[in-house]
Amino acid sequence: MKNRIISLLLILCCVVLLCGCAPSAPAEADGIRTVTDCAGRTVEVPADPQSICCICPFSGSLIVMFGCGDRLTSTCNNVVRSRLLDAICPGIADVPVVKNSGSINGEEVLEIGTDLIIVNDGAYETDEERAKLDSMGIPYVVIGFTDLESQLEAMLVLGRALGAEDEAQKYVDWCRGVYSGVSEAVSAFDGEPVRLYHSVNEAIRTDYYGSICAEWIAMTGAENVSVGSELNREGDKAYTTLEQIYEWDPDMIICNEAGVDDYILSDGKWAGLACVRAGEVYQIPVGISRMGHPTSTETPLALMWLTNLLHPDLYDIDLVQALKDYYLDFYEYEIDDDIAEAMIEADEMRAAKSGVHVE
Strand pairing class (42-46; 32-36): antiparallel
Query: In whole angstroms, what is the distance from residue 254 CA to residue 190 CA?
Result: 22
Q: What is the pLDDT of residue 350?
A: 76
Q: Domains in the chain, ordered, with CATH? A: 27-171 (3.40.50.1980), 191-345 (3.40.50.1980)
Name 156's bridge partners.
Answer: none
Query: 251, 281 in Cβ contact below 8 A?
Result: no
CB proximity list for 286: less than 8 A, separation 6 or greater: 258, 343, 346, 349, 350
pTM above 0.85, yes or no: yes
Length of the chain (residues): 359
CB proximity list for 17: less than 8 A, separation 6 or greater: none
Query: In whole angstroms, what is the distance from residue 283 CA to residue 266 CA?
Result: 14
Query: 52, 71 in Cβ contact below 8 A?
Result: yes
CB contact burial 265-281 (16+ within 10 A = b; e otherwise):
beeeebeebebbeeebb
E strands along the chain, which residues?
A: 32-36, 42-46, 52-55, 72-76, 97-99, 116-120, 140-143, 195-199, 223-224, 232-234, 237-239, 252-255, 281-283
Query: 137, 117 in Cβ contact below 8 A?
Result: no
Residues of the chain with pLDDT under 50: 1-27, 29, 352-359
Q: What is the pLDDT of residue 4?
A: 44
Name 224's bridge partners.
Answer: 196
Query: What pLDDT digit, counting tens, does each position of 249-268 carry?
Result: 999 999 999 999 999 999 99
Query: In whole angstroms, what is the distance from residue 149 CA to residue 162 CA?
Result: 20
Query: 205, 239 in Cβ contact below 8 A?
Result: yes
Q: Is 221 left (phi over 0), alpha (psi -120 to 50) or beta?
A: left
Query: 73, 114 in Cβ contact below 8 A?
Result: yes
Q: Please choose, from the candidates 93, 105, 53, the residue with its C-alpha nearest in 3D space to the C-alpha of residue 75.
A: 53
